[in-house]
Amino acid sequence: MKAVLGLENGRYFFGEGFGAEGVTGGELVFTTQMTGYMEALTDPSYHGQILLFTYPLIGNYGVDTKNFQNPRVWAGGCVLHELCRKPAQNLSLHSFFEEQGLLGISGIDTRHLTISIREQGTVKAALITGSDDWQEAVAIAKKTPDITTQSLIPDVSCREYQHLAGNGPRIAVIDLGIKTNMIKSLSSRGGDLHIFPHNARPDEILACHPRSLFISNGPGDPKQAKETVKTVSELIGQMPVFGICMGNQICGLSLGADCIKMKFGHRGANQPVRHIDGTIAISSQNHGFVVDGDTLPEGCEVTFVNCNDGTVEGFQDRSLDINCVQFHPEAHAGPHDTEKQFFDMMFRRMA
């Protein structure tokens, strides 16, 4: 099947389409992970984006549904160098994309394209499958709204309150596109989870008498989550507050700090982070925005920084009992060191 990837800067790349025929536009981002491609594609944080895999061969073990982070694929499109059409086990990625009406393109020089994004910054793109009309692809890419102008969280958040019973502390969870592994990490420690949509009011959350507040990951620009920021700012100081990824950014904004868009972000399962005690961990990450550490208010302490570029990977405020991380400890990139460190700390705070 013919396919073309067009960029807003006028560049275009021909390849072989897989999945369904169609058109999609979004921010083109790359991830450096070698495995876990289905975890990435089903991560709601990729909503509004076209996902480029830097690892040259994707699909070797097929579609492992047990590791989905959401029941559906949220990435708007998939860009690969080589697609494995006959995996050792499971349904092939090609067949899965066909069944689900998803769009993908293979045969792309992903190394060249990744270097271009790294040097020039993230670009808007359009993927057309079933046609190689590169002019149309470029035109669509140019018209695609910038991710900073889009309100994406309402699409991925739960629509109404949910309760996942546990025998441990009662935790209010604000779902901004929460990953399955986050729920597993909280539930496996006995968390009694009261899950609220992104626009829940403070009084609705307080009505369940939670022991703590947890804010999940999510897509897009955190500044678009105005309702959530307002709610969290009102709840801070009333209970311990914890956040991961978007949750980290929401907490920063709620305290009056600023969040800035990164040149190309951090996405992959091999990002090194340094804790304030000097230890280094390998983390899984997926974010294009970051808390500006210089704008954090007095009382906040940066707890983690990225070893590659020095950006904030976590902060805490002991007096307000806030502890957040930008990376994904539940994703087991270390493989379990940061997961145990963050969630065990969280439950100790509620003891």
User: Mind telling me the catalytic residues?
Assistant: 245, 328, 330
Which burial class, exposed, middle or buried, applies to 335 when counting CB atoms under 10 A from its CB (0-12, 13-18, 19+)? exposed
CA–CA dist 271, 342 (Å, integer)? 17
Helix (H, G, I), strand (E, B) or coil at 182: helix
Helix (H, G, I), strand (E, B) or coil at 300: strand
Q: Which helix (H) or strand (E) holds 19?
A: strand 12-19
Region for residue 207 given its phi and psi (left: phi exceeds 0; alpha: psi -120 to 50; beta: otherwise)? alpha
Classify residue 298 by its DSSP letter: T
* Residue with the two structure tokens 């990225």: 306
Helix (H, G, I), strand (E, B) or coil at 87: coil
Question: DSSP string covering 228-258, please?
Answer: HHHHHHHHBTTB-EEEETHHHHHHHHHTT--
Strands 57-58 and 49-53: unpaired
Tokens (6 digits) for 264: 């190309």
Question: DSSP string covering 102-154, please?
Answer: -EEEES--HHHHHHHHHHH--EEEEEEES---HHHHHHHHHHSPPGGG---HH
